[in-house]
Chains A and B, each alone.
With several copies, the nearest count.
Chain A
Amino acid sequence: MKKVEIITRTFKLDDIKAALSEIGIKGMTVSEVKGFGRQGGHKEVYRGAEYQVDFVVKVKIEVVVEDARVADVIAAASKAARTGQVGDGKIFVLPVEEVVRIRTGETGDAAV
């Protein structure tokens, strides 16, 4: 099992969710993060004082899948998330050694 972490633009979440659904992914976990990267940030001004805000709000999508499906997930998510502009984000794949479904106690492939 692998965990695929997709860090990308927030407004792409719905598209990615749809793309993953289409290839049969049934579950995922999403959180709001702040990203620092090449994309740069923006300027904010409060009472004449300028602040450079470096981070950009991004969304992080975590999907745990069987090893065999990792490539599909990467392909589907990349396609849905790509705009071609700096800031499209990254996909990281991490090994997962065990998965448990709390409700049933099932483990392994049966649990995702």
Chain B
Amino acid sequence: MNAADTAFVLISAALVMFMTPGLALFYGGMVRSKNVLATIMQSFILLGLVSIIWAVCGYSLAFGTDQGGIIGSLEYLFLNGVGMEAGPFSETIPHLAFMIFQCMFAVITPALITGAFAERMKFGGFLVFTTLWILVVYAPMAHWVWGKGWMAEMGALDFAGGAVVHMSSAAAALAATVVMGKRKGHGSTAFIPHNLPMTVLGAGILWFGWFGFNAGSALAADGFAANAFVTTHMAAAAAALAWILMEKLHSGKATTLGAASGAVAGLVAITPAAGYVTVMPAIIIGLGGGVFCFLGVLLKGKLGYDDSLDVVGVHGVGGTWGAIATGLFASINKTTGLFYGNPSQLWIQLASVAATWAFCFIASLILFKLVDATVGLRANAEEQDRGMDLSEHNETAYQA
């Protein structure tokens, strides 16, 4: 046990917790004003819902003793045996600190999905879906990658959640657009963000919190943490620039929403790589994140599906690129990627990418269909016209 590492991981957990309200604002600013509360709520309430699921059984499923590479044991049900002493995943911090740090990841991941079905999701169906998704998709994914499951065994590298957090939520987002269809008015109405300063504030909080997310994933206040901190920052910086450069080329002007989106794209892209690459490759990963995610968002317009806030374009494209780039650029922390003489790492990364997308998409699709057929998912046209804030929550965000 080491007090410095404990302090570092606890503060990091607080930073990651803060990302969820940050995401709520990031998304909330992008919807129309009649839907802002419902959008915020879908992130905020997960701090409640997922945390309790995590304490009851989620943590145990993800980080209990490995059962055949597939899932964790039930030994930590109700956090039984998760105490003030070090646990199996880190010798220098209390087991509780590791558990709560991981809890914050479990909270924000399903919150990311909500961008896809914003402005048309019913609250009840959302709660049921998320509960199932944490148990059926997230906990296994976390186990496979970080809980000594089969992906970890295979040697897949995912420092802070390119697969567990970003690809998984993007695959669920894609499934959501398939099951739920488009918002009323899609194609004819302009869906213009109602409050961009709110979105930029959200992006600022996300960037701030991401230092906890990525550097905290070192689980120690050491050189690796410092390296992950720097790669995180520089990738975000590079991606913000890359995105607005793409905008300049594409439509003549850089936008504030573009800068904020680019920063998030860069943060997504570096997430799997942050602890395995050095700074200059991180900048390249960031540049790629900015360019590819911008193109991914444009593609949506071409393909015509309604991923309201671009979960697939940003988290799907960015997470995938980051996972592949880790296979290219890994060079520190006992890893090596293709460019450092280890082509097999790239194949492992590609396999983990394919497996993650396939599993998460199919499982999410089934869960969405299931909830749609039982509790119901989609608000009807009249509810969408009134806005989800009034229809689902009896509230109005703003009064003159």
Q: Do chains A and B touch in the complex (CB under 8 A)?
A: yes
A interface list, Cβ under 8 A from B: 11, 14, 32, 42-51, 53
Contact of A44 among B189, B258, B310, B394 (CB under 8 A): B394
Q: Which residues on B sit within 8 Å (CB–CB) of A42?
A: 386, 390, 394
B251/A11 in contact, CB under 8 A = no
B294 touches A51 (CB 8 A): no
Residue from A43, A49, A53 having most chain B Cβ neighbours under 10 A = A49
Additional A-B contact list (4), CB under 8 Å, known A14-B189, A42-B394, A48-B247: A14-B188, A45-B394, A47-B261, A48-B294
Q: Does B250 contact A (CB under 8 A)?
A: yes
Our pick among B188, B189, B257 for the contact of A46 (Cβ within 8 Å) is B257
CB of A41 to closest CB in B, whole Å: 10
Interface residues of B in 282-312 (CB under 8 A from A): 294, 297-298, 301, 310
Q: Name the distance in Å between B155's Cβ and chain A's nearest Cβ.
A: 36
Contact (A44, B192) CB under 8 Å given A32-B400, A50-B251: yes
> What A residues does B90 contact at CB under 8 A?
none
Which residues of B sit under 8 angstroms from A48, Cβ to Cβ? 247, 250-251, 294, 297-298, 301
A44–B193 Cα distance when bound, in Å, is 11
User: Which residues between 381 and 395 of chain B lie within 8 Å of chain A, taking CB atoms?
Assistant: 385-386, 390, 394-395
CA distance A51 to B189 in the complex (A): 10
Q: Is the CB of A49 within 8 A of B257?
A: no
Cβ B394 vs Cβ A47 within 8 A: no
Majority secondary structure, A binding face:
strand
User: Which among B185, B261, B395 is the interface contact of A45 at CB below 8 angstroms?
Assistant: B395
Cα A51 to Cα B297 with chains together (Å): 16
Cα distance, A48 to B301, chains bound together (Å) = 9
Q: Are A49 and B193 in contact (CB under 8 A)?
A: no
Cβ of B251 and Cβ of A51 under 8 Å apart?
A: no
Q: Which residues of A contact B310 (CB under 8 A)?
A: 47
A-B contact pairs, 18 of them (CB 8 A): A11-B189, A11-B385, A14-B188, A32-B400, A42-B386, A43-B394, A45-B255, A45-B395, A46-B395, A47-B261, A47-B310, A48-B250, A48-B294, A48-B301, A50-B251, A51-B190, A53-B190, A53-B396
User: CB within 8 Å of A: which of B168-222?
Assistant: 185, 188-190, 192-193
With CB as the reference atom, state the residue of chain A lying closest to B293: A47
Nearest first, the 3 closest Cβ-Cβ pairs linking A and B are A45-B394, A51-B190, A48-B298
Evaluate contact between B253 and A45: CB separation under 8 angstroms: yes
Residue of B nearest to A45 (CB): B394
The chain B residues found within 8 Å of chain A, CB to CB, are: 185, 188-190, 192-193, 247, 250-251, 253, 255, 257-258, 261, 294, 297-298, 301, 310, 385-386, 390, 394-396, 400
A45 and B301 form a contact (CB under 8 A): no
B396 & A47 in contact (Cβ 8 Å cutoff): no
B394 (CB) vs chain A CBs: closest residue? A45
**Minimum distance in angstroms from A11 CB to a CB of chain B:** 6
Residues of B within 8 A of A47 (CB): 257-258, 261, 297, 310
Cα A11 to Cα B189 with chains together (Å) = 9
A46 partner residues in chain B, CB cutoff 8 A: 192-193, 255, 257, 395
Residues of chain B within 8 A of A32, CB atoms compared:
400
Cβ–Cβ < 8 Å partners of B190 in chain A: 51, 53
**Residue B396 contacts which of A14, A44, A49 (CB distance < 8 angstroms)?**
A44
Identity of the chain B residue whose Cβ is nearest the Cβ of A42 in the assembled complex: B390
- The smallest C-beta distance from B117 to any residue of chain A, in angstroms, reads 17
A44 and B294 alpha carbons, distance in the complex (Å): 17
Which of chain B's residues have a CB closer than 8 A to the CB of A43?
394
Residue in A42, A43, A48, A51 with the greatest tally of chain B CB atoms within 10 Å: A48
In the bound complex, CA of A45 to CA of B193 (Å): 11
In the assembled complex, the Cα of A14 lies from the Cα of B189 at a distance in Å of 8
B400's closest neighbor in chain A, by CB? A32
A49 to B294, CA, bound (A): 11
Check if A44 sits within 8 Å of B395, measured CB to CB. yes
Please, how many angstroms separate the alpha-carbon atoms of A18 and B396 in the complex? 23
Give the CA-CA distance A3 to B257 in the complex, in Å: 41
Q: For the complex, what is the distance from the CA of A46 to the CA of B396, rounded to whole Å?
A: 10
Closest to A32 in B: B400
Chain A CB within 10 A, most for which of B190, B261, B396: B190
What chain A residues lie within 8 Å of B261 (beta carbons)? 47
Report the Cα distance A47→B264, complex, angstroms: 13
B294 → chain A, closest Cβ, in Å? 7
On chain B, the residues within 8 Å of A11 by CB distance are 185, 189, 385
Residue of B nearest to A85 (CB): B382
CA of A49 to CA of B310 in the docked complex: distance in angstroms?
12
Q: When chains A and B are docked, how far (Å) is the Cα of A45 from the Cα of B394?
A: 6
Q: Which residues of A contact B390 (CB under 8 A)?
A: 42, 44
